[in-house]
Amino acid sequence: MKTTIKNICISAAVGVTLSMSSCSDFMDLTPNDQYNETDVWSDAGLTQAVVNDIYAYVMHGAEEANTSGLTDDAYFTHNYGVKAINEIAVSGSDLQWFDNENCPFRWKDRYLGIYRANLVLSNIDKVPESPGYNLDVMKGEAHFLRAYLYTELVRGFGGVPLVNQIYDMASAANISIPRSNVGDCLDFILKDIDAAISLLPETVKDSELGRATSGAAKALKARILLHLASPLFADRTINTLECNQYKGDRSALYEQALATAKEVIESGTYSLIDCNANTVNEIAEKFHNIIISNNKEMIFTKQFINKNGGDKNVRNRVGLCHGPNGYHNWAGVTPTQDLAMSFEMEDGSLYDTPLTKVGESTTVNPYSNREPRFYATIGYDGAVWGRERPTDSKAYDPTPLGNLQMGYYEVSDGGKVEIELPNKQTVTFNGLYGVDTRKSSIEDWNGSFTGYVEKKLIDGTVAASEQIFQVTPYPYIRLAEMYLIAAEACIELNRLDEAATYLDALRGRIGRPDTKNTLAIRGKSFIQNELREFLQQERRSELAYEESRYYDVRRWMIADKTANKPLTGIMVVGRLKPGQTANLPYVRDEAKWDYSYYVTDLSYRESRKWDNKMYFAPISRDEIKRNTAMVQNPGME
């Protein structure tokens, strides 16, 4: 029986950075005008194109919605089924955003990618050698990508069916495969990773950035080992489904995670970039540049080539999707007040002015004297938006291309402004609404409800009006995560001094005080439990908006606390000081203005709550019906 492989993207055959179209189904059993299998597996170029297509099933976070909006870090302005998840209104018959193409563990898409990887691994040994193509590397890529896709499924659902063969039409119609235990999934993933490590190169040339390497495979190994060593998979009270329970030695997993992360750190292939400079703003700019460029910290990335559109596999729309409406962007996944206040102060202490609960207010600027990662991650009222990137030959230039206007400002020649404060008091004055608010004259329907916009993934080194399409990479895995994995494993193994060395390396490169001194500043002790909390806070600050928080709060089993808090934002009101006059357009100036900050209750937008069923995502009821051996995650029936 001949079959065809549908929609092979021949233009992608040379390298990931050249092109990668979104091919639909990878096996079409009703051929029309596409290539049949005999042709594909007799041509190394066509085989390479199939391998390239597998990369399209590894979802990145540079689209409109991502998992940050499912956590205490962010609120997604435009819903798309995110609200239902945060309000626990999902089930197997109503997946909401879990069935969105931007969900990194969407069942359908991950298994499509796995199917294509299986297709390659089942046939590549019969592909003839051809100059310019390395069949061993192709095989290594297929092993790595299958491991990556299974890792995403396990992190989202727990134990899942393991499929490593190709089914014909008759077999596929009667397929019945049970969910494997997470331990068996881990073994399968590790076997793929070890195969990938043996076949993949240590590095790739610049024209092939985005392709898998042996270092990326080792980093993925450290990630999945740490994930399954975590408390969620040892729990038997809340995590009641057997296939989601790890039955092996968790300490051994922590040991393996530590050893693997250390191997990546000490390989010499990657290195932390020293961001220290004369000012916090300069440090923040250097840290931000790490996130939006190809550099020695990047281990596995998504590369983009198209500045003018195209599908999600060649475009990076994060500037358009997450940027401020004042620049005609969509203010998509917006930071919460909770995230903004979680970053430490410049001296290492935590924010202690009351501005964390609904109704609290202050006249003290909460954005002063914060740590560099705050300024690199959060766009707030008065924040710099857009700046020319400094080069080796050019000194840091503090002059912004623009400033965010996220508040409401009293000016004598403004119009009538009426705002409702969190205590339901209505204030009316002559003034103007910030152009980056829900009351803006520019696309107010795209304004942020939280009073913040995300900055971290957006290339601010170009004019704000040109940020719609970017070619900056998306970081799937970077070296900082390996330091955090090593530190967490050491903490759980009660090797606290060793843990501190990894944390200090990360903190020192951005001018932060070392771990022991910071704990002392916060009135904490250098003991396992308090160091564990310190690590969790550090991971939140370092990896914000990098698709980490959703999985972290679940594997640590702290989601009952983080997801049960009211959704909050900030309202900023600026009033001219006596004797001062405003210059329009508005520019933030604390010498001329008095500012008040109010915590706003956004529960009317999303009434966030938690149920323990949300530790694992629901599997589609249709999938359960098709596969009679499948069981649903508890509470998702």
pLDDT digits (tens, 9 = 90+) for 322-335: 999 988 899 999 99
Average pLDDT for residues 213-218, to the nearest whole number?
Answer: 98
Asked if the structure places residue 479 within a domain, the reply is no
Angle at 480 between CA 568 and CA 506, to 5 degrees: 90
Q: How far is 625 from 620, CA to CA, in rounded Å?
A: 9
What single DSSP character describes residue 128? P
Tell me what pLDDT residue 583 has: 73
Q: Do 31 and 176 fall into the same domain? A: yes
Q: What is the 3-state secondary structure (H, E, C) of 412-438?
A: EEEEEEEEECCCCCEEEEEEEECCCCC
The H-or-E segment that residue 378 falls in is: strand 378-379
pLDDT in tens, 361-376: 999 999 999 999 999 9
C-alpha Rg value of the chain to the nearest Å: 25
- Phi, psi at 193, each rounded to 5°: -65, -45
Distance of CA 541 to the CA centre of its chain: 12
Q: Do 317 and 239 fall into the same domain? A: no
Buried b (16+ CB within 10 A) or exposed e, 222-239: bbbbbbbbbebbebeeeb
Q: Do 326 and 425 fall into the same domain? A: yes
Asked if the structure places residue 598 within a domain, the reply is no
Dihedral sign for Cα atoms in the order 533, 539, 544, 546: negative
Secondary structure tally for the chain: helices H, strands E: 20, 13
pLDDT in tens, 377-394: 999 999 988 755 555 555
Q: Do 231 and 359 fall into the same domain? A: no
Q: How far is 498 from 160, CA to CA, in rounded Å?
A: 35
Q: Do 178 and 321 fall into the same domain? A: no
Out of 243, 271, 291, pick the residue that ends a domain: 243
Between 464 and 538, the more confident residue is: 538
Looking at 369-509, list the stretches that DSSP marks H as alpha helix, in order from N- to C-terminal side: 372-377, 479-492, 496-508
Q: What is the CATH number of the domain that holds 37?
A: 1.25.40.390
Out of 472, 491, 520, pick the residue that ends a domain: 472
**The domain containing residue 316 runs over which residues?**
304-472
pLDDT at residue 7 is higher than 90: no
Asked if the structure places residue 214 within a domain, the reply is yes
Cis bond upstream, residue 585 (ω within 30): yes
Q: Do 205 and 100 fall into the same domain? A: yes
From the number of C-beta atoms within 10 Å of its C-beta (0-12, 13-18, 19+), residue 24 rates as: exposed
Q: Do 151 and 220 fall into the same domain? A: yes
Asked if the structure places residue 212 within a domain, the reply is yes
Tell me what pLDDT residue 61 has: 92
Tell me what pLDDT residue 2 has: 41
pLDDT band at 543 (very low <50, low <70, confident <90, very high): very high
Helix axes 214-229, 182-199, angle to 10 degrees: 160
pLDDT band at 30 (very low <50, low <70, confident <90, very high): very low
Highest mean pLDDT among 14-28, 223-237, 427-441: 223-237
From the number of C-beta atoms within 10 Å of its C-beta (0-12, 13-18, 19+), residue 168 rates as: exposed
pLDDT in tens, 174-183: 778 999 999 9
Q: Do 212 and 325 fall into the same domain? A: no
**Cβ contacts of residue 509 below 8 Å, gap of 6+?**
272, 273, 274, 275, 276
Query: Among 71-80, 249-258, 399-408, which is the least confidently predicted range?
Result: 399-408
Q: For the full predicted model, state whether its pTM sits above 0.95.
A: no
Q: How far is 556 from 227, CA to CA, in rounded Å?
A: 9
Query: Contact, 176 vs 636, CB < 8 A?
Result: no
Q: Around Cβ 150, how many Cβ atoms within 10 Å? A: 25
Q: How far is 213 from 202, CA to CA, in rounded Å?
A: 5
**Cβ contacts of residue 495 below 8 Å, gap of 6+?**
none
Asked if the structure places residue 634 within a domain, the reply is no
Query: Contact, 608 vs 566, CB < 8 A?
Result: yes
Q: Do 182 and 312 fall into the same domain? A: no
Give the residue from 370, 307, 309, 377 showing the smallest Cα distance to 540. 377
Asked if the structure places residue 64 within a domain, the reply is yes
Average pLDDT for residues 524-537, to the nearest whole number?
Answer: 98
Average pLDDT for residues 154-174, to the nearest whole number?
Answer: 85
Tell me what pLDDT residue 471 has: 84
Q: Do 21 and 130 fall into the same domain? A: yes
Tell me what pLDDT residue 35 has: 60
Asked if the structure places residue 282 within a domain, the reply is no
CA distances from residue 309 to 21, 211, 461, 489 in whole angstroms, order as listed: 12, 22, 20, 42
pLDDT in tens, 59-70: 999 889 999 999
The total domain count for the chain is 2
Q: How far is 222 from 230, CA to CA, in rounded Å?
A: 13
pLDDT band at 172 (very low <50, low <70, confident <90, very high): low
Q: How far is 102 from 67, CA to CA, in rounded Å?
A: 9
Give the residue from 606, 319, 337 showing the smallest Cα distance to 455. 319
Dihedral sign for Cα atoms in the order 75, 76, 82, 84: positive
What percent of the chain is modeled with pLDDT above 70? 89
pLDDT at residue 27 is higher than 50: no
Helix axes 214-229, 250-265, angle to 10 degrees: 150
Average pLDDT for residues 8-21, to the nearest whole number?
Answer: 32
Q: Do 217 and 343 fall into the same domain? A: no
Average pLDDT for residues 548-564, to the nearest whole number?
Answer: 98
Tell me what pLDDT residue 422 has: 81
Tell me what pLDDT residue 464 has: 55
Out of 448, 472, 496, pick the residue that ends a domain: 472
Average pLDDT for residues 550-557, to the nearest whole number?
Answer: 98
- Supply 146's token pair: 């299958």
Q: End-to-end CA distance of the chain, in Å?
A: 39
Asked if the structure places residue 316 within a domain, the reply is yes
pLDDT in tens, 342-357: 999 999 999 998 899 9
Q: Do 435 and 314 fall into the same domain? A: yes
DSSP per position, 248-316: S-HHHHHHHHHHHHHHHHTTSS--PPP---SSHHHHHHHHHHHHTS--TTEEEEE----SS---TTT-B
